[in-house]
Amino acid sequence: MKQIISLSEVAIKKIISVQKLNESANFPYLDISGGGCSGIECKITLKKELTEDDVPFFSSPELTVYGNKELITIAQDCSVEFVDEIAASKFVFRNPNATSSCSCGKSFGL
């Protein structure tokens, strides 16, 4: 299976650690919606249940991250990192297909 997105080792470890703290929502999910500084905002969330529209966007032996199959073209080749800085700890999304992006790393435009 071709990966839709890539995750850094630090991002994988962070998602797994958050997943262990949340017993009611077990499915890591790339949530993509309109918004943010540049028009398309990305978040890593946890879902309680998957739907028929949810497909693996990333899969490794220790982690699978899902997303909506209708958003594959938006997420394609996006890389996800986790940065832990004094000012903030956050997931940063980089999309090589973006025509614009914001400095916070949470949104981009296509």
> From CA 60, how far away is CA 69, in angstroms rounded?
19
**Is 78 a domain residue?**
yes
- The band of 30, judged by pLDDT with boundaries at 50, 70 and 90, is very high
Cα→Cα distances 4→60, 65, 68, 73, 103, Å: 12, 10, 11, 9, 23
Indicate whether 99 pLDDT > 90: no
Q: Give the mean model confidence (pLDDT) for residues 27-50.
A: 87
What is the domain-level CATH number for residue 88?
Answer: 2.60.300.12
Residue numbers of the domain that contains 53: 5-104
Residue 75 in domain: yes
Does residue 17 lie within any of the structural domains? Answer: yes
Q: Does residue 109 sit within a domain?
A: no
Give 7's strand partners.
80
> pLDDT at position 18, please?
93
Indicate whether 55 belongs to any domain: yes
Supply the pLDDT for residue 63.
96
Tell me how many domains the chain contains: 1
**Is there a domain that residue 110 lies in?**
no
E strand segments, the chain:
5-7, 27-35, 39-47, 54-59, 64-68, 78-84, 89-94, 100-101, 107-109
**Which two tokens mark 94?**
């980089």
